[in-house]
Amino acid sequence: MAGEDPKVIRKQLTARGERIAQLEAELERMTDALNRERQAVEIMKQAMALVEKFSDPEAPESDQTDKSSSPKKTKPSND
C-alpha cells in the first residue's frame, strides 16, 4: 500500500486540481467564442432581413429586362 502515501496523494490531487483549472479556463474561452459566433450569426440574420426588406425585388429583373429584352426592341418598331 505504498501508493497511499499522503504526500503522493497530495501531489496527485494538486496535479488534478491544476488540470481541472486549465480545463475550466479552456471551457470558458470556448464558451466566450461560441457566444461571439452566435452574436455574429444573429447580426448576419438581421442584416439579411434588412437587405430583403429594403431591396426592390423587381429592380434586378427590370435592369436585366431593360438591357437585353424585347421592350426596347418594341419601342423603335412602334415609331
Asked if pLDDT for residue 56 goes beyond 90, the answer is no
Q: Provide CB contacts within 8 A for 72, sequence distance 6+.
A: 66
Domain holding 20, by residue range, is: 1-55
Let me know if residue 5 belongs to a domain: yes
Structural domain contains residue 62: no
What pLDDT shows up at residue 1? Answer: 43
Look up the pTM and report it: 0.54
77, part of any domain: no
What mean pLDDT is predicted for residues 18-30? 98
Contact 67, 61 (CB under 8 A): no
pLDDT at 77: 54
In a domain, 79, yes or no: no
| pLDDT for position 4 | 86
Region 8-34: mean pLDDT is: 97
Domain count, the chain: 1
Determine, yes or no, domain membership for 46. yes
Q: Is residue 60 part of a domain?
A: no
Within-domain flag for 4: yes
Residue 20 scores a pLDDT above 90? yes
Residue 10 lies in a domain: yes
